[in-house]
Chain A
């Protein structure tokens, strides 16, 4: 049963056809990015470049000033990594405690986080900016990491909490009997078991933080710590309808996050499997 049959082959071929159709936008993305300026308006939008070149990519990576893409990559990487660490640390421990606690307030706390996912962020933006400003959190990578951690924490806690619900307490009980302290149990027993949920949080948060434009534009504005989307925004701003250059920077910006997904996708999917139990 469920062996590789002719029908499976058919299914595989069909899915490949579907995938190719699904990914046509990427065909335009890549072919256009490889077109030199001279071909941009002379060749058909459907046709691949006759003499592909990488000059658009070279231009993207050597841009300076506000649109310094390399600096943007570095800053985005720092901020994304910092936020992910914050979300894993706070998310796992908070999710753990509110799931495992038998106190009455833990359920209330769970809903506090759940509702926070739904709250319309537009409302809080002005007060948040003023608060961050008065605490000196604007203009630095640190401030942004704290903000992203706070903004995405409800989602992170939600994912961790769902994961813990599906996880038995056997290991923790065994460790308790062995005399481990509560913090030892968490750091040495529980946390490693949560790797799948951690993978999910990593990808989720990574995607959101990496791709986010406005928070960083606003809270970092004018400082030297521009993130990639902001650099991209400045870069594209000068390109009226130079689709080839625009698409080159789109490709550059998507490669790191795609790599993160490839790296963490197994855990990501396991994390959901775990989360889906509850």
Chain B
């Protein structure tokens, strides 16, 4: 970090100050149109790097969606054949519905849980910082580590079945990750577990910006808990909801690592998602063209939901 002229405390104050005088930034900018800060070319290195690593590389890869390339050797351009194949393949359609189920399931449950915890931790708790850290801990764990732990828990000889046996429900014991009905729910549990802490932090940040005075005033006016939440808190944390759900949806639709690690898409495709199918087609099964086409379809789906989602949760039109 470069040397700072300002005392640290003031630096930390800055955003709060910006918040207390709502609209300071947005309102002043158009008025001071001619006033420029920074040189535009400062952005060039960043733009160039992102362009090369994200757009050029993805563009080249995307081109193969229209070919029959296996990953090596020569290829022919086959037009839309790969896309037609996708929509005829029941495995891919099953993967699509699993993807949507897991994405929306984990966003919904993870965000509700995160919001409830954040509301619980909001204001006057003595141990809120310790609790916040505890609830955040699963987020810190790498997907690899998370998968190892849950694989052990769901293992046939693992703690979950041992617990069921201990409470006399031993007949309910099953290989959870290989059970056609339960496997996808176990994946959902793991996704929610590892994303709740993240949603919680975003909501806590949002809640920190809700003025105490307004809440107090509402309480004095006789508003009950729900009314206070509905009419004061929720509107104030809309931006937090927008960020948490947008990131959640984008991430959820792309979910790959935990599934690959827990079930590998099994049993017999019961937990296959679009992302695991992209990987398998393009790299494991030597059908790079088909995998690339599926990746494009997935990107389109993510884009659509991200835009829809932004529209739904946006509090006020963007500047």
Contacting pair B126 A269 (CB below 8 A): no
Pick the interface stretch among B47-55, B87-95, B100-108, B174-182: B47-55
Cβ-neighbour of A19 out of B25, B54, B134, B208 (below 8 A): B134
Residues of chain B within 8 A of A125, CB atoms compared = 57, 61
Minimum Cβ distance to chain A for residue B317 (Å): 12
A145 to B295, CA, bound (A): 26
Give Cα A243 to B62, complex, Å: 41
Asked if B37 and A172 make an inter-chain contact with CB atoms under 8 angstroms apart, the answer reads: yes
**Taking the complex as formed, is A58 at the interface, i.e. its CB lies under 8 A from any CB of chain B?**
no
Inter-chain contact B6/A153, CB cutoff 8 Å: no
CB-based contact B12/A123 at 8 Å: no
**CB closest residue in chain A, given B209:** A273
With CB as the reference atom, state the residue of chain B lying closest to A157.
Answer: B46
Most-contacted residue by chain A among B25, B32, B43 (CB, 10 A): B43
Chain A nearest CB from B303 CB (Å) reads 6
Contact of A173 among B35, B57, B149 (CB under 8 A): B35
A123-B62, A261-B136 known; A254 and B43 CB under 8 Å? Answer: no
Report the nearest A residue to B22, measured CB to CB.
A277
* Given contacts A93-B38, A193-B11, A112 and B18 within 8 Å (CB-CB): no
Q: Are A169 and B25 touching (Cβ within 8 A)?
A: yes
User: Taking the complex as formed, is A72 at the interface, i.e. its CB lies under 8 A from any CB of chain B?
Assistant: no
List A residues 180-236 near B (Cβ within 8 Å): 182, 185-193, 195-196, 207, 210-211, 213, 229, 232-233, 236
Most A CB contacts (10 A, CB to CB) among B50, B205, B278 go to: B50
Partner of B145, one of A8, A253, A275: A253
Closest to A163 in B: B15
Q: B residues within 8 A CB of A138?
A: none
**Complex Cα distance A88/B208, Å?**
25
B49 with A90: CB separation less than 8 A: yes
| Interface pair A247/B148, CB less than 8 Å apart | yes
Q: Evaluate contact between B37 and A124: CB separation under 8 angstroms.
A: no
Q: Inside 8 A of B254's CB, which chain A residues have their CB?
A: 120
Q: Are A25 and B36 in contact (CB under 8 A)?
A: no
Does the CB pair B135–A19 fall under 8 Å?
Answer: yes
B58 adjacent to A120 (CB under 8 Å): yes
CA distance A190 to B15 in the complex (A): 12
Alpha-carbon gap, A121 to B142, bound state (A): 19
Assess whether A273 is in contact with B15, with CB atoms less than 8 Å apart: yes
Asked if A16 contacts B38 (CB within 8 A), the reply is no
Take A46-B163, A192-B4 as given contacts and tell me if A128 and B53 are in contact as well, using a CB distance cutoff of 8 Å. yes
Q: Among the interface residues B38, B42, B123, B243, which one has the most CB atoms of the partner chain A within 10 A?
A: B38
Residue of B nearest to A186 (CB): B38
In the complex, A197 Cα to B29 Cα: how many Å?
A: 21
Q: Are A273 and B216 in contact (CB under 8 A)?
A: no
Do the beta carbons of B133 and A262 come within 8 Å of each other?
yes
Cβ of A11 within 8 Å of any chain B Cβ, yes or no, is: yes
Interface residue stretch chosen among A49-57, A59-67, A101-109? A101-109
**In this complex, what residue of A is CB-closest to B236?**
A276
| Min CB gap A52→B, angstroms | 17
Q: Are A103 and B40 in contact (CB under 8 A)?
A: yes
B298 within 8 A of A: yes
Q: B13-37 vs A: 1/0 string, CB under 8 Å?
A: 0111111010011101100110111
Are the C-beta atoms of B145 and A44 separated by less than 8 Å?
Answer: no
Contacts of B50 in A (CB 8 A): 112-113, 116, 150, 153-154, 157
Q: Check if A150 sits within 8 Å of B49, measured CB to CB.
A: yes
In the complex, whether A119 has a CB less than 8 A from a CB of chain B is yes
Q: Would B131 and A276 count as touching, CB distance under 8 A?
A: no
Partner of A119, one of B5, B17, B65, B299: B299
Closest approach, in angstroms, between the C-beta of B215 and any C-beta of chain A? 8
Contact of A120 among B8, B26, B138, B278 (CB under 8 A): B278
Q: Give the residues from 197 to 215 in chain B that come closer than 8 angstroms, CB to CB, to chain A.
A: 201-202, 204-206, 208-209, 212, 215
Task: Provide 7 A-B residue pairs closer than 8 Å at the C-beta atoms, listed in order of the A residue.
Answer: A2-B124, A8-B124, A116-B55, A127-B60, A172-B37, A186-B38, A277-B15
